[in-house]
């Protein structure tokens, strides 16, 4: 970094004591921002001494000087009455987002779709020909109708994108609204990160993401990971002053927003908020990288690409065929093709091109992305009500494939209401704490050891029930605080609204800023934490608490019941181990509390925790959530194996797992339960690389891992994902985590769940979904929603492909046989709109919480393998059976009704006896193209010849024909073939009742088949649950009403090439459409096991799946690197870098 020379002097001049006295504070936000930036830009010892110290320690007066300039007392924090004044002066702790893209901008973006551009150009060409070349009434109508359809498609897509973006902005606002613990008015308070102001004193602990720029205050043991700002993975120590040794900066006082606390506790004095922070001042706010396109989306992409390619070549081939037919017609001098007529034949060629483009548009399932988006957006909003805050969209559908859930215990499977129910001291076990029979000095020692060695953020506050506190901070520590209160008051009632509590009295005796105090933070390797305090006599005392086996192992003595000491002999250790085992058998979490005194402060943690004196054991109960056993049963029915990964000892873990129902009685217990150390030794080499062959021997029966470390969890996830055991499905792994060190496993998992209450910010940033209530049942709901999303997308896929098959076949066969499609371009676009936008709303929005029986149906079947084809055999059967039935009906309507005759009073009536009577006589005139019907006309009426001067049969010669009232007359030849004769040869373009019945029947069959496609698994009752989906009902009613308007309303039906039908004709059309409901029952009887499925159906082999998953991870890493967002990328020593067979 280049030192910014002169900034120190400028900052001192602006922010020093001689600053403007008229301001409420002697400094401004920009001056403090410059100070922070200067410390960030100058990090070498030389630059710090040359530039920073002159400003930081000189003009600003260090941390103490900054506190005075900001009018903050370190022990009291900001007075509440000054908060608004500070916010007004220094700004809000909020970086304004870029404005949401406007609806018009989104519409313009949607219009860039090539097919829509082609249609738009074609529409304008059609307008030009209709108005200026053909010059016929309503010649402009088709062009306007196509443009209208394009506008509708663009508008629907843009509105959906706009609403989705707005929804996610709202969700992100909630996600970023993190609660912090600050010091105000001398008391700790919980405030939103957005309420933070300059001068606030923030309490920090391991895993917290820093909410603002500032400096560290008082004694601390903070180690900060600044990787997301600097790219360096080395932890940075923090002290209130710069410490420089051997020309190297050992520690510095400045903390930066967005970095996170990797170890320790401390206090932050806020200097810069919002845009004034170093992060906020960057050119682009750190963005969250999404996880890229999921496996499902990539399957859909591949299927879409295949359909698009085939559709493109079919459309091109069709246009070429039609052009060849036109050339053959000119060569044979067929009717209306004797000579080139600009007005007629350019319009016909344009019709060919528009038909080809329209078939391509209809065939391409561009509605799939819209359906996926709607399904995901709908589920994300609903999942929030089920306590699932989705951070990565792909996690929604991935959960539907989950085969394994690796769950934490505390707070997830249990209530996390930690309560000390048993105490072991000396040789006695006490079950009642209110009148515990111990000498008073020993009681005090027990209380001090429990309270002093807790984090400052752990507190008890008043709740809705008198005498029952609400825990804030670490639940285990809060349980110890309750124990201290109970012992201290002898079981008396405590006013948690007040400040007079035994545990707070102890904290006052040993304040955090006490001279000589130091905290050795908890680590997963040591499984304990310790705190050193200075005693009034000048000596020091170290309190330790942690996993019972780990702490008792470092104890050399223990306290006796009378307050004396005895050596931890083999007999004593055996007694203690027996108590630990008995506590574990009762599913109690056992902690050991110990202490030791020393004459001088010990700085080294290993030395500090040697030769401890055991005060006693505490058995902490964390009751299993009442709803968890049923949720575990639901998982078993759903084919999901729940594996509990916990730091508790083996007995406790096994006892709780049994209560939850995780233990499988059909498998020997020794195969189901393992401790982390043994697991690690069995499945990894000395470099912690996974040995897959060894892992595969363990994991199928593994249900509980006790005494696990984050490395063990990461190994477990990696091994499950990499396993390809014969006879076992490819594993899709969901993982829960709450700690900073859980971040690698959360990111490694297919779906990472972070705890919203207990989870650290780092864990949340590394996760895909945040469980707002820390409840395992919410994870089961996520599985339910994942499967529902997958089903919803498949429902739409089944419907759309059925329509595609029918519409494209009708258009292609019609154009090839009849010379043009029986369905007009505008009609095909309306069908496209039905199956894209409207159907995606109707079929992608089923809610399992509303539809009776749907939740059970979703959870009573095995997970979808991620390699499985999108189209199941049942879906393929349904699609082709319904499409074949629809084609049969439509071909009958096209070719077997409609008499060939001269037009009568209207174009739809016969004038005289028909030349050819249709097999099904319904009394209407044919709407087929005249070119096709010529085969059924007598030779003398097949064509009116074009005008030829030397052929009197082609014209009438008239003499003295009056022209007007003036008496002028006309003499000459009048051609028998009128000017518009050839324009009328393209029959399907006429507004005939015949072709209206075809179009109407086609649309109604799709509307009724939409009811059928709600069922994917061969269910007979297609109406089940339909009335519980409001969107489905709205779309069905809206589509049907729109179809009535298109057919019946004058003007609109003209644009859509329709002629109004009478009630009898409508009844026939509705009956034809409703027949689809009966076909559904017949389809269910057809065999489907013989149907072969391949890559065309959206399947993916194991190798492709692995390759695709690796691509997704690489894309996500690249996005995060480009965005500078890596708070979840916690460097963890020993995380395996590769998998070995």
Contact 218, 512 (CB under 8 A): yes
Catalytic-residue membership of 951: no
User: Considering only CA atoms, which of 152, 166, 144 is closest in space to residue 836?
Assistant: 152
Q: Strand, coil or helix: what is 916?
A: strand
* Number of CB atoms found within 10 A of residue 957's CB: 9
Number of neighbours of residue 229 by Cβ within 10 angstroms = 18
* CA dist list (Å): 752 to 108, 511, 755, 771: 37, 38, 10, 10
Half-sphere CA count of 273, side-chain side, radius 13 A:
23
Enclosing H/E stretch for 722: helix 710-722
CB–CB of 300/1108 below 8 Å?
no
Helix and strand element counts for the chain (H, E): 39, 34
Burial class (CB within 10 angstroms; exposed 0-12, middle 13-18, buried 19+) of 49 = middle
DSSP H helices in 129-220: 141-176
Q: What torsion do the CA atoms of 631, 636, 640, 644 make, to the nearest 10 degrees?
A: 60
| The two three-digit tokens of residue 440, written as one number | 């008073």
| DSSP for residue 195 | G
What are residue 555's DSSP bridge partners? 612
Question: Of 408, 475, 931, 1129, which residue is the catalytic one?
Answer: 408
Choose among 564, 535, 478, 1055: nearest CA to 824: 1055
Cα 265 from Cα 521, distance rounded (Å): 8
Query: Helices (DSSP H) in 903-992: which residue ranges?
Result: 930-933
Q: Is the torsion defined by CA of 52, 181, 83, 505 positive or negative?
A: negative
C-alpha distances (whole Å) from 437 to each of 228, 563, 638, 815 are: 53, 12, 51, 97
Give the total residue count for the chain.
1141
Which residue, among 183, 176, 123, 129, has the nearest Cα to 153 in the 3D structure? 123
Q: Which residues are CB-neighbours of 404 under 8 A, at least 6 positions away?
A: 640, 641, 642, 643, 720, 731, 732, 733, 734
Burial class of residue 93 in the structure, from the number of CB atoms within 10 Å of its CB (0-12 exposed, 13-18 middle, 19+ buried): buried
Could you give the CA distance from residue 705 to residue 681 in angstroms, rounded to a whole number? 13
**854 near 1025, Cβ under 8 Å?**
yes
Say how far apart CA 68 and CA 75 lie, in whole Å.
Answer: 13
Which phi and psi angles does 969 have, rounded to 5°? -125, 165
* DSSP single-letter state for residue 184: E
* Spatial separation of the C-alpha atoms in residues 712 and 718, rounded to whole Å: 10
Quickly list H helices, 975-1126.
993-1012, 1030-1048, 1052-1055, 1063-1083, 1102-1123
Compute the Cα dihedral for 1052, 1056, 1059, 1063 and give only its sign. negative
Q: How far is CA 589 from the centre of its chain?
A: 35
Quote the Cα angle for 1080-1086-1091, to 5°: 115
Phi, psi of 612 (to 5 degrees): -80, 160
CA angle 74, 76, 81 (to 5 degrees): 120
Give catalytic residues, as residue numbers.
Answer: 408
């Amino acid at each position: 970094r280049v030192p910014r020379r002169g900034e120190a002097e400028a900052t001192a001049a602006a922010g020093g004591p001689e600053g403007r006295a008229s301001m409420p504070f002697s400094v401004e936000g920009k001056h403090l921002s410059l100070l922070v930036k200067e410390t960030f830009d100058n990090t070498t010892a030389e630059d710090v001494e040359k530039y920073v110290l002159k400003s930081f320690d000189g003009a600003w007066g260090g941390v103490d000087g900054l506190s005075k300039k900001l009018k903050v007392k370190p022990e009291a924090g900001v007075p509440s009455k000054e908060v608004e004044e500070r916010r007004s002066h220094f700004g809000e702790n909020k970086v304004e987002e870029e404005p949401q893209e406007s609806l018009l901008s989104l519409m313009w973006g949607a219009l860039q779709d090539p097919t829509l551009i082609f249609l738009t150009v074609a529409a304008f060409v059609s307008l030009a020909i209709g108005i200026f070349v053909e010059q016929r009434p309503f010649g402009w109508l088709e062009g306007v109708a196509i443009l209208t359809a394009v506008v509708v498609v663009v508008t629907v897509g843009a509105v959906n994108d706009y609403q989705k973006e707005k929804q996610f902005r709202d969700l992100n606002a909630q996600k970023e609204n993190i609660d912090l613990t600050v010091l105000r008015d001398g008391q700790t308070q919980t405030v939103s990160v957005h309420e933070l102001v300059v001068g606030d004193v923030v309490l920090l602990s391991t895993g917290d993401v820093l909410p603002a720029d500032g400096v560290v205050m008082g004694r601390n043991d903070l180690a900060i990971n600044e990787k997301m700002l600097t790219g360096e993975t080395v932890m940075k120590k923090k002290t209130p002053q710069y410490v420089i040794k051997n020309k190297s900066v050992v520690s510095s006082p400045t903390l930066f927003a967005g970095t996170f606390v990797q170890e320790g506790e401390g206090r932050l004095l806020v200097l810069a908020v919002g845009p004034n922070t170093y992060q906020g001042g960057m050119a682009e706010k750190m963005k969250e990288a999404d996880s890229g396109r999921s496996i499902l989306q990539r399957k859909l992409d591949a299927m879409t690409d295949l359909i698009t390619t085939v559709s493109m070549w079919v459309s091109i081939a069709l246009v070429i065929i039609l052009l060849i037919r036109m050339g053959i017609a000119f060569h044979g001098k067929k009717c209306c093709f004797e000579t080139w007529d600009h007005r007629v034949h350019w319009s016909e060629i344009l019709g060919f091109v528009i038909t080809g483009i329209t078939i391509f548009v209809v065939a391409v399932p561009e509605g799939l992305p819209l359906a996926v988006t709607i399904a995901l957006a709908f589920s994300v909003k609903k999942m929030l009500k089920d306590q699932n805050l989705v951070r990565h969209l792909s996690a929604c559908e991935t959960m539907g494939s989950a085969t394994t859930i690796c769950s934490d215990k505390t707070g997830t499977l249990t209530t996390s209401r930690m309560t000390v129910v048993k105490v072991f001291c000396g040789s006695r076990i006490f079950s009642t704490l209110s009148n515990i029979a111990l000498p008073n000095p020993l009681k005090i020692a027990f209380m001090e050891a429990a309270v002093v060695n807790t984090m400052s953020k752990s507190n008890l506050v008043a709740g809705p029930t008198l005498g029952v506190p609400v825990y804030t901070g670490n639940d285990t520590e809060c349980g110890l605080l309750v124990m201290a209160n109970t012992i201290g008051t002898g079981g008396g009632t405590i006013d948690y609204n007040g400040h007079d509590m035994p545990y707070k009295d102890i904290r006052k005796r040993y304040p955090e800023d006490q001279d000589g105090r130091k905290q050795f933070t908890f680590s997963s390797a040591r499984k304990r934490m310790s705190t050193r305090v200075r005693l009034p006599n000048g000596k020091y005392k170290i309190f330790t608490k942690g996993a019972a086996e780990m702490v008792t192992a470092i104890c050399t003595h223990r306290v006796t019941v009378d307050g004396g000491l005895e050596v931890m002999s083999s007999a004593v250790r055996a007694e203690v181990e027996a108590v630990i085992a008995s506590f574990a058998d009762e599913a109690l979490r056992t902690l050991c509390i110990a202490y030791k005194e020393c004459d001088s402060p010990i700085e080294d943690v290993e030395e500090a925790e040697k030769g401890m004196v055991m005060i006693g054991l505490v058995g902490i109960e964390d009751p299993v959530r009442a709803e968890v056993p049923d949720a575990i049963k639901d998982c078993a029915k759903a084919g999901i194996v729940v594996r509990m990964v916990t730091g508790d000892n083996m007995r406790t873990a096994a006892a709780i797992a049994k209560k939850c129902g995780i233990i499988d009685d059909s498998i020997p217990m020794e195969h189901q339960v393992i401790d982390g150390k043994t697991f690690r030794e069995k499945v990894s080499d000395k470099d912690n690389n996974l040995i897959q062959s060894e892992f595969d021997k363990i994991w199928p029966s593994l249900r509980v891992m006790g005494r696990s470390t984050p490395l063990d969890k990461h190994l477990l996830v990696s091994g499950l994902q990499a396993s390809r055991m014969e006879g076992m499905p490819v594993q899709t792994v969901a993982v829960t985590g709450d700690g900073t060190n859980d971040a690698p496993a959360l990111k490694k998992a297919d779906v990472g769940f972070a705890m919203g209450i207990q989870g650290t910010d780092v864990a949340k940033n590394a996760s895909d979904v945040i469980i707002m209530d820390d409840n395992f049942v919410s994870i089961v709901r996520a599985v339910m929603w994942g499967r529902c999303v997958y089903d919803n997308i498949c429902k739409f896929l089944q419907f759309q492909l059925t329509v595609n098959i029918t519409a494209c076949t009708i258009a292609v066969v019609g154009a090839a046989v009849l010379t043009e499609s029986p369905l007009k371009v505008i009609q095909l676009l309306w069908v496209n709109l039905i199956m894209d936008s409207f159907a995606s709303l109707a079929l992608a929005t089923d809610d399992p919480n509303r539809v009776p029986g749907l939740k059970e149906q979703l959870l009573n079947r095995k997970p979808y393998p991620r390699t499985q084809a999108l189209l199941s055999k049942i879906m393929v059967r349904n699609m082709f059976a319904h499409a074949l039935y629809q084609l049969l009906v439509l071909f009958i309507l096209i070719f077997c009704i409609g008499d060939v005759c001269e037009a009568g009073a209207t174009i739809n009536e016969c004038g005289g006896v028909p030349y050819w009577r249709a097999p099904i006589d319904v009394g209407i005139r044919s709407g087929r193209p005249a070119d096709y019907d010529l085969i059924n006309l007598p030779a003398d009426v097949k064509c009116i010849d074009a005008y030829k001067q030397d052929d009197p049969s082609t014209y009438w010669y008239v003499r003295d024909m009056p022209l007007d009232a003036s008496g002028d007359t006309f003499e000459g030849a009048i051609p028998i073939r009128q000017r518009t004769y050839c324009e009328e040869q393209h029959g399907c373009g006429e507004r005939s009742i015949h072709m209206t019945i075809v179009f109407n029947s086609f649309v109604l069959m799709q509307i009724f088949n939409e009811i059928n496609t709600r069922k994917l698994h061969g269910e007979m009752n297609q109406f089940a649950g339909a009335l519980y989906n409001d969107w489905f009902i709205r779309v069905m009613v809206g589509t049907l009403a729109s179809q009535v308007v298109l057919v019946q309303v004058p003007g609109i039906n003209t644009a859509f090439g329709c002629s109004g039908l009478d009630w009898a004709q409508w009844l026939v059309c509705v009956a034809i459409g409703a027949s689809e409901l009966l076909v559904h029952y017949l389809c269910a009887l057809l065999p489907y096991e013989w149907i072969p499925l391949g890559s065309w159906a959206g399947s993916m082999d194991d190798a492709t799946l692995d390759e695709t998953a690796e691509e997704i991870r690489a894309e996500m890493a690249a996005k995060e690197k480009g965005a500078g967002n890596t708070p979840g990328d916690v460097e963890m020593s020993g995380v395996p870098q590769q998998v070995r067979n």
